[in-house]
């Protein structure tokens, strides 16, 4: 009869001394008490608690970084310097093999090794939640339909069917879908979140998310390029419709559902790295793909991807029904996600996949620039030098606070007249709407990089080929909810008290 299994027995079999050893030992004794023979017990334990023979440490030197970005002005140079520093911190992690930054790259703040917007990394056998960020599956979707509706009509219907702002749809006005009935809710990263998935269906959130109405007129050269690339369906509709379409484009992620999955993933990665690694910044902590936690997290990410694609589709279908139309062609892409290619897990935060699909076709992607500029339809160049990504937008050179600063008066409040003048100038001729009320100047064209430069760098670095441009007609964004009278009164009262305290302190100092 075997003696009760001890910690030294597991260590002799190759398990690493650490916090995980206690959990492995408890499980071993549980199996042993159930009558499992020692050999079978060790085999089962290996599946549930993979052996860790060494503690993972950051590298002394970072993995290679490729930069598909040019900086001309002092502001751009400073921006790229911060992006580079953050990427090099992330590239010191032992699981990260390569990195790239796109033309729209910009830092996002946060602690060490926080991936910037426009950053991408190739990771071996691991998923880094911080490298896809909280807005899992932030993505684009476009529906092409006949160009026979006035802009105002389309925008009126679109405003009625979409939903921006914090939270989900009000109870009684919620949407449903078969995606909610998938048998996924026993996954530890999804458990208890079905109601969250229900609440946020049909919503787009805030920030840079949008619903954009545009028009595209394909040239014959573009039609031929799409046909040659294998997109026969789109090429045929271009021929039938003389190249002209109205297009609805939406941009949003997985909302509260994805945010909760991300938080759980980050906690699981922190636990794993605490037991198996050392000196790993929070933003770079990972889950091994071949661990039970990693496999569950990967499956949760796939569901979040399906939910988000369905969320886009529901909004598109709702508009098209009101217009009495159907989508002739639909396409889209993620740009905050993790993709498995061969043995590598490609992580992108604000990076559009530009490789070949399973059929060997270059991926067809959407790159928005700002609400007053064209949305690019691109064929990926599969340029391995830059991990086969291209940009996801125009990016920023300055923070939201810095963007708004010139439009504030001496009391620190935005000057409505100056805000209106800027919007009138930068969005002239477009039907621009702010769902929550007041405009958000930081999401206007003023808040973004020079779109023409970003577009030129896509070509300069060989990231993708433009095969169509959706020209803007109208755009809905969240905007600002506006300040309630009681909120304004409280803020002004606090400001007055602060000023009085400062005056009193100054008088005391002078006496």
On the question of pLDDT at 88 being above 80, the answer is yes
Question: Among the listed ranges 33-37, 38-42, 503-507, which one has the minimum average pLDDT value?
Answer: 503-507
Tens of pLDDT, residue by residue over 340-371, are 999 999 999 999 999 999 999 999 999 999 99
On the question of pLDDT at 40 being above 90, the answer is yes
User: Residue 484's pLDDT is what?
Assistant: 47
Tens of pLDDT, residue by residue over 252-306, are 999 999 999 999 999 999 999 998 899 999 999 999 999 999 999 999 999 999 9
CATH code for 139-332+356-384+392-397+430-477? 3.90.1860.10
- Averaged pLDDT, 23-47: 91
Cβ count near 371 (within 10 Å): 23
User: Residue 510's pLDDT is what?
Assistant: 58
Tens of pLDDT, residue by residue over 185-201, are 999 999 999 999 999 99
User: Residue 76's pLDDT is what?
Assistant: 93
Give the helix/strand (H/E) hosting 475: strand 464-477
Instruction: Please list, in sequence order, all residues whose beta carbon lies within 8 angstroms of the beta carbon of residue 92, skipping any fewer than 6 positions away.
Output: 58, 59, 60, 61, 62, 63, 113
Cβ count near 341 (within 10 Å): 12
- Averaged pLDDT, 436-452: 92
Tens of pLDDT, residue by residue over 97-139, are 999 999 999 988 889 999 999 999 999 999 999 999 899 999 9
Chain length of the chain: 511
SS3 content of the chain, % helix, strand, coil (to 5): 40, 20, 35
Q: What single string gives the DSSP state of each residue in 402-458?
A: HHHGGGB-TTS-B-HHHHHHHHHHHTTTSEEEETTSB--GGGSGGGS--HHHHHHHH
| 378 confidence band (pLDDT: 50, 70, 90) | very high
Give the helix/strand (H/E) hosting 509: helix 485-510
CA distance 10 to 29: 11
Tens of pLDDT, residue by residue over 1-12, are 457 899 999 988
Tens of pLDDT, residue by residue over 143-158, are 999 998 999 999 999 9
Q: Let me know: does 450 contact 369? Beta carbons within 8 Å.
A: no
User: Residue 1's pLDDT is what?
Assistant: 46
On the question of pLDDT at 429 being above 70, the answer is yes
User: Residue 410's pLDDT is what?
Assistant: 81
| 49 confidence band (pLDDT: 50, 70, 90) | confident
Residue 264 has phi, psi (to 5 degrees) of: -65, -40
CA distance 119 to 67: 10
On the question of pLDDT at 486 being above 50, the answer is no
- The residue ranges of every structural domain in the chain are 7-48, 139-332+356-384+392-397+430-477, 481-511
- Averaged pLDDT, 167-176: 91
User: Residue 52's pLDDT is what?
Assistant: 60
């Amino acid at each position: 009869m075997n003696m009760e299994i001890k910690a030294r027995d597991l260590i002799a079999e190759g398990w690493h001394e650490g916090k995980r050893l206690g959990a492995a030992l408890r499980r071993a004794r549980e199996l042993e008490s159930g009558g499992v023979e020692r050999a079978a017990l060790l085999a089962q334990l290996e599946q549930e608690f993979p052996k860790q023979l060494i503690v993972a440490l950051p590298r002394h030197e970072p993995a290679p970084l490729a930069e598909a970005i040019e900086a001309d002005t002092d502001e751009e140079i400073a921006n790229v310097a911060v992006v580079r520093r953050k990427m090099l911190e992330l590239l010191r992690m032992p699981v990260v093999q390569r990195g790239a930054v796109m033309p729209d790259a910009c830092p996002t703040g946060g602690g060490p090794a926080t991936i910037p917007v426009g950053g991408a990394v190739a990771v071996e056998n691991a998923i880094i939640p911080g490298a896809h960020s909280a807005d899992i599956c932030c993505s684009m979707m476009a529906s092409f339909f006949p160009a026979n509706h006035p802009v105002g009509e389309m925008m009126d219907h679109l405003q009625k069917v979409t939903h921006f702002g914090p939270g989900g749809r009000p109870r009684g006005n919620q949407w449903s879908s078969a995606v909610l009935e998938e048998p996924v809710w026993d996954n530890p990263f999804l458990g208890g979140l079905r109601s969250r998935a229900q609440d946020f269906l049909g919503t787009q959130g805030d920030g840079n998310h949008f619903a954009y109405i545009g028009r595209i007129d394909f040239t014959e050269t573009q039609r031929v390029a799409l046909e040659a690339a294998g997109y026969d369906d789109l090429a045929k509709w271009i021929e039938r419709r003389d190249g002209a379409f109205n297009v609805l484009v939406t941009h949003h992620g997985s909302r509260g559902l994805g945010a909760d999955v991300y938080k759980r993933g980050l906690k699981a990665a922190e636990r794993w790295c605490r037991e198996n690694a050392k000196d790993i910044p929070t933003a770079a902590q990972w889950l091994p793909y071949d661990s039970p936690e990693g496999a569950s997290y990967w499956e949760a990410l796939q569901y979040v991807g399906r939910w988000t694609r369905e969320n886009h589709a529901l909004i598109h279908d709702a508009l098209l029904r009101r217009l009495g139309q159907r989508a002739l062609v639909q396409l889209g892409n993620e740009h905050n996600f993790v993709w498995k290619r061969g043995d590598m897990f490609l992580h992108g935060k604000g990076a559009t996949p530009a490789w070949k699909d399973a059929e060997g076709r270059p991926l067809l992607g959407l790159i928005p620039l700002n609400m007053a500029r064209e949305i690019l339809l691109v064929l990926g160049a599969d340029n391995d030098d830059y991990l086969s990504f291209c940009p996801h937008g125009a990016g920023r050179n300055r923070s939201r606070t810095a963007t708004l600063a010139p439009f504030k008066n001496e009391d620190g409040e935005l000057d409505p007249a100056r805000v209106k003048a800027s919007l009138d100038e930068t969005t002239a001729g477009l039907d621009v709407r702010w769902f929550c009320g007041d405009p958000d100047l930081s999401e206007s064209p003023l808040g973004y990089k020079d779109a023409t430069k970003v577009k030129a760098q896509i070509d300069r670095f060989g990231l993708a080929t433009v095969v169509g441009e959706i020209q803007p007609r109208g755009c809905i964004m969240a905007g600002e909810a506006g300040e309630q009278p009681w909120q304004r009164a409280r803020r002004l009262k606090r400001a007055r008290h602060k000023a009085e305290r400062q005056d009193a302190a100054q008088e005391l100092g002078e006496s």
